[in-house]
Structure 1
Amino acid sequence: MRNTDFFLAPLRKFVGRKLFFRWKTLWAPHIFARTNQTAGQTTLISMIRNEKAILETFCAHASSLFDRVILIDHLSSDGTREYIKLLSERCSNIEYYCFDEPGYYQSELMTWTASHLVDRKMPGWIFFLDADEFMPFRSKDEFDCKLSQFSQFPVISMPWLNLVPLDMESGRVIDEFFLKPPKPSRHHKIAYQPSHIPSGDYFIAQGNHALFMGNRSSKVKLPAKNSFPLYHLPIRTKHQLLEKICYGIDSYRRMGSDRKNNNGIHWNEIHRIIENNSLTNEIMAGIAAQYGDTLYPPYEKSFEELLKNGYSKIRMEICCSEAMITFADVAKNRHDGTIVKNTGLSIDILNDPSTNHRKIDFDRSMGSMRMSE
């Protein structure tokens, strides 16, 4: 029963004494019975929108590390949707779904996907990564070995290492140099073992930053064991940054009253800075270095200043197989060579009758999701 206080203390505050002892009796023995088990099956769930510039690298990275990769396209208009659809047909461990609700209901989508598309009883881990987040492992064996060290913990946290690209024109990731901060960000992502979580209500927080037990009106944050950092590349080129902010702000706006006060506020803040300043490399470096935190002027950070403040020059050493397909393959796969018909903030997959059976629908009035028939 080692380390139980790490998880049990917050629950004492959330539930009554009677319920707490019931939880301890039913759940804790299952969590802490074995501490040296293997990692089990690893599953990645990722919500993706307009990530053409980095998607080939991200998918090659994800498919080389995870046993199962679930990619959910959210209204892409740059060919991303057809790319992951074709990739799922060529790669046995990649699955494709689409989500066409214009609002940014990430928490609801990740929670539903983890609960309905992954077997809760199967030993293993569920991860939630964006296309700009990379695991710091050079092989799947190294990844699985590291995970086995955390087998007794239901939830782990992975702090961001917000990398600043030295090349802000190409957008390339592999074999490129970045500036790495002297310490990780206070912001992190989580992964969890569903077989170690008691059956009942729990949900993934917006941004995939936490796991809560209970419901959205009465909840407790489940403690997460600090594990290993994630390479985070939120800002790579000017075009990518502008598009990221535009889509993020629009998606939250379309949630209407469902949007929580602080959700996505950093995107609005970055948008304000960009509107009032020239988008220079120094501005981009400053935003990348402080990404996720409140930004204070002066916003500019030169590479020399960052190096003086403890940043170091690195290349990401990550596991990355050769890309199974390229965007050129997607175009060739179409008889007419056309990838998508762009309709602004929505997308029409041309002559694609197979899309519907992979579509996840959301009922705003009920707050519920289902797979389209």
Structure 2
Amino acid sequence: MNKKLVGLSMIRNESDIIEAFIRHNLTLLDELHIIDHGSTDNTREILQLLKEEGLPIYIYYYNELAFTPVPILNNVMRLLLEKDSLIDYIFPLDADEFIYCPSRIRLESLLDFIPEDRVGMYTWRGYIPNTTEYNPDFLTSFTEQRQENILTPKVIIPRKIAEQHKLTIGSHFMVNEANEEIKSVVFCASQHRHFYTWFIQKFNAEFIETDDLWLGHYPIRSVNQQIKKVLEKSITMAIKFSGGDDVAWENQLKDLLNNNMIISLERLRLIAYQYRADNIEPIQVFHQEALRTERLTFKYLHLVEDSPLPTVARLILELTNKLRK
């Protein structure tokens, strides 16, 4: 393995998934650099224990109320490049994103197809949950990949591109100083050729057809995790926008209240299916394949905070204290 591959993430309140995220993605990457944005569950404790194991993770803390991931990720990316001349590629990742590739050797061979003047892109395969309860082995037990009607890319950044250009919100693409999209090389399954026109028009894309590199996406994992996400986002968005135009989380909160805070498995699966998509129903499955065949070994499941209430209560106290200042 000649290349140095580094992951970069900004996370918040991911105690149910962070150990799986770290252990899985480190099977393909050399390091993970994690910015924790004021987690109020046990995410920070789990991260620290993983670091104490000797895993190559680096933890940064951002405790401001404002959620400004774009400048923070770009600043940290620049600092990493300045401090470490050996970094070859940076993989921005959210905590619910898991790299799929058969092996590290195969991953490096695919990266060779990315020219220095282009950014790499691989795409989401969104998973649909098969239970309402928390299952730490979701990487092996969730098998249904949704039919993507909007193919969402995530960037893989060669060092030269990272030094000269900027990430955008969600790390879905990069732009230059004139805010123009950087050309891309897209790793994409042949079944998704009907999306090529959009990539060509937006990113002047070239394509590597492969099923060996994609990004498993698990935004919805259990009922309690979904309720926690909706409550947390609703609180922070209400403070940030003071009742502004972003009403997505407000609408989800209203839906929860209308259903007495109950989410059936059918409804949970539909929420996962509709995540950043324009299809309503019925659910369509693209492929049946778990991301992993072997289970991960977990040490910190006792720190997973399944109930949303303590996390939200601590968040309210934290926000109250900050607003008093």
TM-score, normalised with respect to structure 1: 0.66
3-state SS of 1:192 partner: strand
What pairs up with 1:111-260 in 2 under 5 angstroms?
A: 111-119=74-82, 122=86, 124-152=88-116, 154-172=118-136, 173-183=138-148, 185-196=150-161, 199=164, 202-214=165-177, 218-227=178-187, 228-256=213-241
TM-aligned CA deviation for residue 90 of structure 1: 2.4
Is the 1:179–1:312 contact (alpha carbons within 8 Å) kept by the matching residues of 2? yes
TM-aligned CA deviation for residue 225 of structure 1: 2.0
Deviations 1:247-301 (A, max 9, x none): 23333444449x9966xx65445334434445222221112112113464xxxx5
Is the 1:111–1:203 contact (alpha carbons within 8 Å) kept by the matching residues of 2? yes
What is the match of residue 316 of structure 1? 291
CA distance in structure 2 between the partners assigned to 1:276 and 1:39 by the alignment: 55
TM-aligned CA distance change 1:343 to 1:273, over 3 Å:
closer
TM-aligned CA deviation for residue 138 of structure 1: 3.5
Deviations 1:69-92 (A, max 9, x none): 101111112211121123223225
In the alignment, structure 1 segments of 5+ residues that lack a partner are 1-37, 331-339, 349-373
Is the 1:162–1:180 contact (alpha carbons within 8 Å) kept by the matching residues of 2? yes
Counterpart code for 1:52: S
- Alignment length (residue pairs): 284
What is the match of residue 371 of structure 1? none
Is the 2:117–2:183 contact (alpha carbons within 8 Å) kept by the matching residues of 1? no
Query: Alignment partner for residue 344 of structure 1, among 296, 300, 314?
Result: 314
TM-aligned CA distance change 1:322 to 1:169, over 3 Å:
closer
CA distance in structure 1 between the partners assigned to 2:311 and 2:219 by the alignment: 27
Query: Alignment partner for residue 326 of structure 1, among 297, 300, 313?
Result: 300
For the pair 1:270 / 2:252, whether they are aligned, the reply is yes
For the pair 1:52 / 2:15, whether they are aligned, the reply is yes
CA distance in structure 1 between the partners assigned to 2:122 and 2:258 by the alignment: 33
TM-aligned CA distance change 1:112 to 1:261, over 3 Å:
farther
CA distance in structure 1 between the partners assigned to 2:224 and 2:153 by the alignment: 25
3-state SS of 1:64 partner: coil
What pairs up with 1:28-107 in 2 under 5 angstroms?
A: 40-107=3-70
Is the 1:40–1:123 contact (alpha carbons within 8 Å) kept by the matching residues of 2? yes
In the alignment, structure 2 segments of 5+ residues that lack a partner are 188-212, 305-309, 319-325
For the pair 1:288 / 2:272, whether they are aligned, the reply is yes
TM-aligned CA deviation for residue 42 of structure 1: 0.6
3-state SS of 1:160 partner: strand
Is the 2:232–2:312 contact (alpha carbons within 8 Å) kept by the matching residues of 1? no
TM-aligned CA deviation for residue 311 of structure 1: 3.6
Q: Which has the higher helix share?
A: 2
3-state SS of 2:292 partner: coil
TM-aligned CA deviation for residue 136 of structure 1: 1.1
How large is the RMSD of aligned CA atoms in angstroms? 3.3
Is the 1:42–1:125 contact (alpha carbons within 8 Å) kept by the matching residues of 2? yes
Is the 2:77–2:162 contact (alpha carbons within 8 Å) kept by the matching residues of 1? no
Is the 1:61–1:319 contact (alpha carbons within 8 Å) kept by the matching residues of 2? no
CA distance in structure 1 between the partners assigned to 2:294 and 2:4 by the alignment: 18
Counterpart code for 2:236: S
CA distance in structure 1 between the partners assigned to 2:20 and 2:315 by the alignment: 24
TM-aligned CA deviation for residue 207 of structure 1: 1.5
What is the match of residue 14 of structure 1? none
CA distance in structure 1 between the partners assigned to 2:122 and 2:316 by the alignment: 33
What percentage of residue pairs aligned between the two structures are identical?
22
